Amino acid sequence: MVKSDVASCDLSEKRECTTTEKTVLLQDVGPRDGLQNESVVLSPPERVQLIGALEDAGVQRIQIGSFVNPRLVPQMAETDSVWRSLRKRGSTRYSVLVLNRRGLEQALSIGLPHVEIYVSASETHSKRNSGVTVARAIEDAIGMIEFAHAAGATVTAGVMCAFGCFFEGEVPVEQVGEIVEELNQPLPTEIGLADTTGMARPEAIRALIDRLSPVIIGPDRLTIHLHDTRGLALANLEAALQLGVRRFDTSVGGLGGCPFIPGAAGNIATEATVEFLHARGFSTGIDPEAVKAAKRFLDLHLGRRFEPASTRNVP
């Protein structure tokens, strides 16, 4: 196992994480994960407007798109144009998802400062999503992390379907743990766990974090990506908070879903998450009303009104 000295507290020892105990950092993945499953394709200028609205709301981390095959995911075409058109605010961390070396090289060639490299814990999903086996995906990802580091980029390395697979069912905790250990060897900036299918439950969140605690030291090295397929996203977030996790992916309006997983629902909504956290005394730096303005922009341009389950009754 490889341990990092990035932070000085263990994920399971929340009380010792004083520097980040009441601050939660959210990344809005709406411009990528949120849009990739929509039938309406927003133009690059419209995507730039959405990103600007999120920045105006105080969102400091934004996943602006992905470098994937535009024939398979037309919603992500011209991500390079989106990047070039942004105002590049110094307070914002911009990132993109890349699934292979070609996508990584595209991202690095135009100066993207942060890339996200995910592999799936499910053989079926891995083959449908990226066309390779899990073993091959891990091998490729390690090389990509090293390549990105050499180019001066920071990296989130993560595991999709970390809490279950639509095709294969439950994914064993130990299986995910072994993948994380391999991805952690080149020491990416962050490790991500994605509930791609929305199958997670609080007990599964706790079990996996407990398994990874000896490997990933500190709340600054773990981020969790939640979907709300079963209406448990906020409960899962709270379980992770209780164990010291302070970084999460959310999506404006609760948009999202994987084109290669039937029935995968949207991400946990940014505006609901902010209100949930603020009600519990956490700080996010995000104005929930301004995020709702970004949501209205989407309502207009996508031609429908979004009411994700997790925004209806914020406990």
Residues designated catalytic: 258
Nearest residue to 277 (alpha-carbon basis) of 14, 23, 89, 6: 23
Helix (H) or strand (E) holding 53: helix 44-56
Q: Please tell me whether residue 156 adopts helix, strand or coil conformation.
A: strand
Per-residue exposure over 251-272, b if at least 16 CB sit within 10 Å of its own CB, e if not:
bbbbbbbbebbeebbbbbbbbb
- 237: burial class by Cβ within 10 Å (0-12, 13-18, 19+)? buried
When computed from its CA atoms, the radius of gyration of the chain, rounded to whole angstroms, is: 18
User: Where are any strands of DSSP class E within the chain?
Assistant: 25-28, 61-67, 93-98, 114-120, 154-160, 190-194, 222-225, 247-250
- How is residue 53 written in tokens? 């609205």
Q: How far apart are CA 290 and CA 79, in angstroms?
A: 24
Would you call 304 exposed, middle or buried from its count of C-beta atoms within 10 A (0-12, 13-18, 19+)? exposed
